[in-house]
Each structure stands twice: as structure tokens, then as C-alpha cells.
Amino acid sequence: MVTANPLLLPELRGMLAEGDLEGLRALATEIHPASVADFSEGLDDAELWQLLDALPLERRADVFTYYPIARQVELVKATDRQHLGPLLEAMAPDNRVDLLKELDPDLVEQILPLVAKAERHDIRMLLSCPENSAGALMTTEYASLPADVTAGEAVARLRSQAPDSESIYYIYVLAPDRRLVGSISLRDLILARPGALVGDLMQRDPIAVRIEEPRDEVVQKLARYDFLAIPVIDDGGRLVGIVTHDDVLDAVRQDATDEAQRAAAITPLGERYLDAGIVTMTWKRGVWLTVLFGTAAVTAMVLARAPITRPWLVAFIPLVIASGGNSGNQSATLVITALSSGDCRLSDWPRILRREFALGLLLGVLLALPGFLLALVYAPSPFEAAVIPVTIMGVVMLGTLVGSTLPLLFRSVGLDPALMSNPFVSAIVDVVGIVIYMLVAILVLD
Amino acid sequence: MVTANPLLLPELRGMLAEGDLEGLRALATEIHPASVADFSEGLDDAELWQLLDALPLERRADVFTYYPIARQVELVKATDRQHLGPLLEAMAPDNRVDLLKELDPDLVEQILPLVAKAERHDIRMLLSCPENSAGALMTTEYASLPADVTAGEAVARLRSQAPDSESIYYIYVLAPDRRLVGSISLRDLILARPGALVGDLMQRDPIAVRIEEPRDEVVQKLARYDFLAIPVIDDGGRLVGIVTHDDVLDAVRQDATDEAQRAAAITPLGERYLDAGIVTMTWKRGVWLTVLFGTAAVTAMVLARAPITRPWLVAFIPLVIASGGNSGNQSATLVITALSSGDCRLSDWPRILRREFALGLLLGVLLALPGFLLALVYAPSPFEAAVIPVTIMGVVMLGTLVGSTLPLLFRSVGLDPALMSNPFVSAIVDVVGIVIYMLVAILVLD
């Protein structure tokens, strides 16, 4: 997000206080709606509604959708219902549903009657799409044509419909039963001979996604084919919506943040870092810290039961644990990023495990060597020092195998592989690593 | 990436063996160039050139750019120079430069004379743009118009230039000295009265980025304003190129993967996981594992020097270290993601540190409590057990402060905050955490 420009706020407040609606309207139609939202975000709710009400409805809806979703919810709660009907009707279908999803279901039921029937139907359909599906990302505003019109007629139709800039550049060609049969870009329509038939110009069997297809696949396809939008079809092959490039970009950026936070054992904030309240933050971090504390407690109990007493062995505990944890995190992250970017699939598991086994061996040797040298300094004899390299080999191999297996297991049971894999890997490797250390120590020393 | 369809390969090989060029051309022009690249990637270099040579030049260049960059380099090396001149001229300027950047500079100097002079100038300009700048992301193909033509004339000009689908939808309005004065969408041109002047229809002072602006800012602006492309200007305000939505999406996806890998102490692979060789992987993981081994060795040396001898205190070493490391990773990740998404800026540091201090206190108390209970089980007396909660408070606060400060420090000296912050945080917190543990133990017990 671009931070608000605080310099404009006093000016804006002045115009609102003077009731200079003309000036406000001029200002807010000259610049991009996102900029209007950015510089007006500092206003209080009443002032903001005053500003929004001064704008033409279309513009008002545009600006409104550029506020962070939490602010949109606040604004909805701060106004009476009459305001909401026209605003919701004017909002883009996908943005409208994103807002309604954040509201109390009771409130939604009170608001829905304020919206025209066709829109209501549309809202209920979009609300019913499962999260992380193509349906949850799509909008229902798109331009469509039958195959039997000419290019000239098609352009004339588009002129009279004047669809949004979002959706005018790719036009979908539908059979009479709304089955998607082709697509054509505005560029090709304009470059074509005006008398040519759309059915002859169009790209047949366009690449599409099914409404229930997972979000990752939608992103991968849109990115691979450099599309502005990708059509979404139902089981009968009928066009039900499109997913546009800007929504995919937003989704990818949000996913990147969410996955980074998950990998660091934080429930994704879902809002700007500085906006998240201290209580929310304590909860979203504390719950996982407590879970990880639990697994660390197991390690402590294991260690307390079979104590390592020689001081030089104690000194190497953090090093042994870190070696396993670090190599495990590497493997987990590599497999998670490869799965989520589509670079490899679940069916590649034998190759993945073979690679990680080989890497575990190589990296184990790489760390065992300096480990042995360091142990020689502190151990009473070279023979006893061998405990360290043997243990390091063991925990590094354990790390790479647990780290690569866990995300694959998560994916195979339909869970997001990024779901806490990294902290889980560390936790498992810590406990088992300590056991390996103790066993090796007992075998070598006793 | 979408995985190649291995079923089509034998068919394709058959057509190549029979010399069925007509069939190949028909197949490869009917489907998306990305799909052609996907299903032909399994061919060997000679077969692939045979296929590419069967295609019209424009199509050949389109398909070529959809191979992974490593494969493009292989193909360049596998052919003679005559092939390369026309291909490079037909490639999009940004894709062409992405390829040349991967080649040996000597080879580039041999290839450049094969390219027309104007293109050569363009290549040198793009090659000179610093990495991670707007210039490194942009393409130099865009549609432009003067302000004094009518909408009708503008559409006619676009028809005759027939620019790429990438760049026809936003047209930039230039003054005679190429200064960017406005922008207009194809939609608005088509909907306008044909006699209206572009200068009256255009959006004035369009949002643009400077050529040296960091990539993060480009992404944030394009995403915030939902643009198809964002214009790039030089210091004189002259238009030098555009950054398109598809390249931003690719950059964001690549960045997400790179940052996840960096956060797990891996030099970003920059290629598909399964394509990376074992030696490369060992190097890219081993170098950081060795660095982290070095910091863990410091922890071991500290521990060896002032040994913790009571077995129950030894048992708590991994738990104490994990508490600090986990909370530190959380803080580092939150600050890194907030900085890179633009949710907060370096100047927010006082707020960030205040928040993290408060959270350190709260999370410290949260973990100190179960820590104390667990210690009561193993410690000889409640008084001695207090070592654990006091230490946990200390390491958690240390973790949140180191975790939040380090990315801010990295950013303030101009480094990418994601650059290894997470593993560094763990390493520092490990060493200092052990020292805290020993100090608290000495203070309480001796």
C-alpha cells in the first residue's frame, strides 16, 4: 500500500468544513481513485462519507473499493442503510463480495434486500464459491458476443455497452446456451476487416479454468499465458465469470506475505502490520509460540530423562540442533516453493526424496568435517570427538528427509504444504535430533 | 510453470522425422505459444531448432521466449549465428535483454553486430539499467501519440502500426520532445467521439516511475492502481519504456520464491527446483549452512567456556534457545514482509520498535508461565526453577528486538531487508540467549 499523503488532509478538511462540494468533486475526479482513497484515509468516518457523497455514484464506488477492507467495514457500520444499496449496486461484483464476506452474516441479510434482484442473485452465487477457488477470485462483469456477428458490429456493440476498462480488452464468444466457444481480443477486433465474422476471427477452445479450480492453478495459468484475464466456466462449460490480472497480482502478493508469516509460525495477519492491534498480534504469534513451546518441552523432558553430563557434550547441544533445523528448513522451503509455484507436483515425490537424500549426505559431510575439528578441541580424545560428526551426519540427513517429506504429506492429504511446515520441521528435528545425539554418545562413549 | 505434456512428444518427433513442416506450422499456430513451448521442451536442441525454423519468424520468437531461460541459453549455444540475428530482432526487447544477460559477454559482443543498429542501441540501453530497477523490468515497445490528433485518427494510426497486444491498450501521449504529458486507454479512444482531440480526452500527468526507481516501488504502484502497464520516464520526464502487468506478475512470483529461500538460508536457486544440479544445490545451501555452523560454533565455544553442569539446566538449553529464535523469526518476518509490501517504511522505526517491545513483554510472559511450571518439575527448588522464566523473558525480548532491528538496519544501509535476516537473527539470538541463560543461572544459583 502507498502511504497516505498527510499534507492534503488539512486542505481536504477545510473543503469539507466549507461545504465546497464542487471543489471536492473536481479534485476527486481528476486523480486516480486509488489516490483519492490514499489521501482521504485519515478523515474520520463522517467526513469520509461527506466526501464520498459529493462524488458521482460510479466514482464513489471506485474510490470506496480502494480503502483497506477493514476501513470499508467501518464505513459500512458508520452509515445508514440507504447509503449502502446504490453503493453496493455500483461496486464491481468481486469487490462487493469481498466486502460482504467481512461483514456479520445478519448484517448482510439486512443489506441484501436493498440491492436489485439480479445483483442479489450474483452476490449469493459468488458468496457460495469456496475460498481459494477460481470462483472466489472471479468477477461476473465481462464482455461477451455471439459468434455470428461481424467485427464492425462487435465494436459497435462494445461501444454501446461501454464495459469497464477491466473487461473490455478480452471478449468471450458464447454459444446460445452460454457455453464458452472462443475468445477474441479488442486488438484483433479493431485490426480485423469490419465485415469479418467473430466466429472466424476468434481463438477457438480458449484456455479457461473451472469454477472450483484451486487459486494456485489459476495464478499459474494466467501467469504462464500472460493473460489480462482468464475465463471461468462451470461443469457444463458455460462462462460464469473472469479472473482479471489485477486480482491475481493482489492475490499473489497477499499469498507471498501470508506464506512468509506462516513459515515463521505466525497466523497470517491479513491486514497491514501497523494496523494490527497488540491483542491480535499477541494471539496470532502467541498461539504458535505456545505450540512450539510444547514441542520444545518434549525435548527438555527427553534430555532430563537421559541426561548428557559431560560438559563438552553439553556445549555442542545447540550446534547439533541448529544443524538439523537449518538443513530441514532449507528442504521444507525448497519443496514448498516448488509445489506452490508449480515447478513440481506431488507425483514427483520419488525424485524429490532421492535428491534430498543425496543432498542430506553431501551437506552432512560438509558440516561433519568442521564439526569434527571443533570437537577435537574440546573432547578428551579423537575417538570421543567422533560423536559430533556422526551425530551431525545423522541430524542433517534427518532434517532433509523430514523437511522434504512433511510438505509432501501435507499436500497429499489436501492441506496447504506451507501450513506451518517449517516450524513443525524444526520441532520434530529438535526432538529426534537430541535422541540421536544421546544414542550416538552412549554408543561411542559407553 | 505448467509441466510439459509428454504424450505429444512422440507425435511431434514423428512429424519432425517425416519433415511434415506444414503440419508443424499448423499445430504451432493454432495453440498458445506457451503451450507450444511446454509440449516441445522435451525435444533435443537440434529437433527444437527444426521445429522453430518451421514457424514464421514472429511466432518463432514468441515460442522461443516461453522456454525457461536456461533452455534458451542452451539453444543459442547449439546453433550458428545466422539463426540468431532475425530471432533476436523479432523478440520483445525485454525478453531479448533477459536472454543476453545470461550469455557470456564475449558471445554477446559477437552476436550484437547481427542485429540492426536501432535494436542494438535499444539492447545496450536496457543492458545498462541496474538490476532491480524499473529499467531492468521495462520493455521499449509501446504505443504513443501526439496530443493534437483526433480520436478517429488515433485509432487509424494504431490500426496501421498494429502494436503488440501487450502494448496497444494504453497509449502514451508525448510532447514533441518525447516528454510524457498524458495517457489514454484504447477503451476511451473507442468510446470517444471520433472528432475529439486526444489532448482533451487524455488523463494528464499520468502516474509513472523513474527509470532508476526500485522494483518494489514499481510493483506497489502498478498493483495499487490496477494498471495494465506503467510508463517509465528518464530524468527529463521523457518516456523511455513501459513495465507491463505480466512482467510484474512474474517478478512478484519470482521474488516470493527468492525471499522464502533466502529466509531459509538458501541462495535463491533462480531456476526450477528439479532442474537445479546437485552441485549447485550443495553450494547454494552449503555456503549458508557453513556460515550458520560458524555462529553455532561460537555458541558451543561460549558454552564450553562457562559450562552449565546441573543436568536439569542442560535439559532446558534447547527450549530456551528455541523460545528466542522463534519469537525473533516472527518479528523479523513481520518487519520484512511489511517493508517489502510497502505496508510500512523505514521512517516508521520508532513505532515498530515500540510495538515489538510491547509484544516481547507479552509473549515473554506468555512463555515464562509454562516455562516456570515445567521447571518446577525438574528444579530442586521453586527458587532455582525461577531461572527458567526469567531467562525466557530475556530471550523472547531479545528475539523480538533483534528480529525487528536487523531488517530495519539492513534497509537503512540500502540492503534488501530479506537478505538473510532470519538465519542471522537466529544465530545472534542463539549466542546471546545462551549468555543470558548462563548469567541468570549464575545470579540465581550462586
Q: Each residue of A77-112: pLDDT tens digit?
A: 998 887 888 999 999 999 999 999 999 999 898 888
Q: Virtual CA dihedral for B81, B85, B86, B91, nearest 10 degrees?
A: 120
Helix axes A245-263, B317-341, angle to 10 degrees: 160
What CA–CA distance (Å, rounded) separates B445 from B435? 15
Counted domains in chain A: 3
Per-residue pLDDT at B163 exceeds 80: no
Searching chain B, which residue's CA lies closest to the CA of residue A62? B225
Residues A441 and A304 in one domain: yes
Q: Are residues A16 and A111 in the same domain?
A: yes
Contact A274 B343 (CB under 8 A): yes
Residue A70 sits in the same domain as residue A206: no
* Residue A99 and residue A178 in one domain: no
How high does pLDDT run on average in chain A? 90
Q: What is the pLDDT of residue B19?
A: 84
Closest CA to B65 of B41, B44, B34, B111: B34
In this structure, is residue A197 part of a structural domain? Answer: yes
What phi and psi values does residue A204 have, to the nearest 5 degrees? -80, 160
The verdict on B314 and B411 lying in the same domain is yes
Residues A410 and A350 in one domain: yes
* Nearest alpha-carbon partner for B264 in A216, A418, A435: A418
Residues of chain B with Cβ-Cβ distance to A281 below 8 Å are 355, 359
Same domain, B124 and B147: no
Look-up of cell digits 530524468: B235
Q: What contacts B208, CB < 8 A, 6 or more positions away? A: B180, B230, B231, B232, B233, B239
Nearest CA among A45, A119, A26, A120 for reference residue A83: A45
Residue in B with minimal Cα distance to A159: B191
| CB atoms A301 and B315 under 8 Å | yes
pLDDT digits (tens, 9 = 90+) for A35-62: 899 888 889 999 999 999 999 999 999 9
- Cross-chain Cβ contact B315/A322 below 8 Å: no
| Record: contact B314-A318, CB cut-off 8 A | no
Which of B221, B338, B423 is the closest to A273 by Cβ? B338
Calculate helix-pair angle for A21-30, A57-65, nearest 10 degrees: 60
Note whether residue B257 is domain-resident: no
Choosing among A200, A203, A289, which should be mutated to test the B contact, i.e. which has the most B CBs within 10 A?
Answer: A289
- Does the pLDDT of residue A416 top 80, yes or no? no
A264-293 in b/e form (b: 16+ CB < 10 A) is bbbbebeebbeebeeeebbebbbebbebbb
Listing from the earlier edge strand, what are the strands of the sheet with A180-185?
A143-145, A170-174, A180-185, A203-204
pLDDT score recorded for residue B167: 77
A238 to chain B nearest CA, in Å? 21
CATH number for the domain harbouring residue A200: 3.10.580.10
Question: Which residue range forms the structural domain that includes residue A387?
Answer: 277-445
Q: According to the model, what pLDDT value does residue B285 have? A: 94
Structural domain contains residue B247: yes
- Domain boundary (A217, A252, A287) is at A252
Return the pLDDT at A250: 93
Q: What is the pLDDT of residue A409?
A: 92
Q: Identify whether residues A406 and A318 lie together within a single domain.
A: yes
Q: Is the pTM of this model over 0.95?
A: no
Task: Report residue B159's pLDDT band, with 50, 70 and 90 as the boundaries.
Answer: confident
pLDDT attached to residue A240: 95
Note the pLDDT of residue A2: 38
The alpha-carbon gap from B79 to the nearest alpha carbon of chain A, in Å, equals 26
Mean pLDDT of B71-100: 90
Instruction: Give the A:B interface size as CB pairs under 8 Å.
Output: 350
Percent of chain A with pLDDT over 90: 61
Q: Is A82 exposed, middle or buried (0-12, 13-18, 19+ CB in 10 A)?
A: exposed
DSSP element (H, E) containing B87: helix B81-90
Q: Are A388 and A408 in contact (CB under 8 A)?
A: no
Is the model's pLDDT at B3 over the cut of 50? no
The one-letter amino acid code at B16 reads: L
The arithmetic mean of pLDDT across residues B15-44, rounded, is: 86
Same domain, B244 and B307: no
Query: Averaged over A357-382, what is the pLDDT?
Result: 96
pLDDT tens-digit series, residues A23-36: 888 878 778 899 89
Task: Give the CATH number of the domain where residue A308 resides.
Answer: 1.10.357.20
Contact A328, A399 (CB under 8 A): yes
Of B32, B272, B292, the CB nearest to A322: B292
Amino acid letter for position B395: V
CATH code of A108's domain: 1.25.60.10
Nearest to A282 among B311, B338, B363 (CB): B363
Find out whether B327 and B400 touch, Cβ atoms under 8 Å.
yes
Check whether residue B124 and residue B149 sit in a common domain: no
